[in-house]
Amino acid sequence: MNDDDRLAQMLRAALPPALAAGPSRDLWPRVANRLEAQVRVSWLDLGIAAVVAVALLMRPAWLWLLAYHL
C-alpha cells in the first residue's frame, strides 16, 4: 500500500460521507421580495455624496484619488 492509498483511507475514516440533502427551505420568495422592495436612501448617504461632489468641483485633480480608492 503506497502513501496515496493510505492517505485516502485515513481521510475516508476521518471525514463522514456528505449527504446529498436539498435546501431546508425555498429562498426564491425572499429574493423576489427584496427585488420588489423600495430603495431607501438615508440622509447620511446623500450628505456624503454632496461632500464628495463639492470636493471634486473645488479640486478636480482629486478625481484620480477617488477613482484609485474605488
Task: State the pLDDT at residue 38.
Answer: 86
Q: What is the pLDDT of residues 1-57, one digit of tens each?
A: 678 899 999 988 898 877 767 777 888 999 999 889 888 889 999 999 999 999 999
Alpha carbon separation from 57 to 9, 46, 47, 68 (Å, rounded): 66, 16, 15, 18
Closest by CA to 48, choosing from 68, 61, 66, is 66
Query: With bands split at pLDDT 50, 70 and 90, how would you rate the model's confidence at 58?
Result: very high
**Cα angle value 3/6/9 (rounded, 5°):** 150
Domain ranges in the chain are 39-70
38 vs 43: CA distance, rounded Å: 16
Cell numbers placing 36: 420588489
- The whole model's pTM is what? 0.46
DSSP 21: -
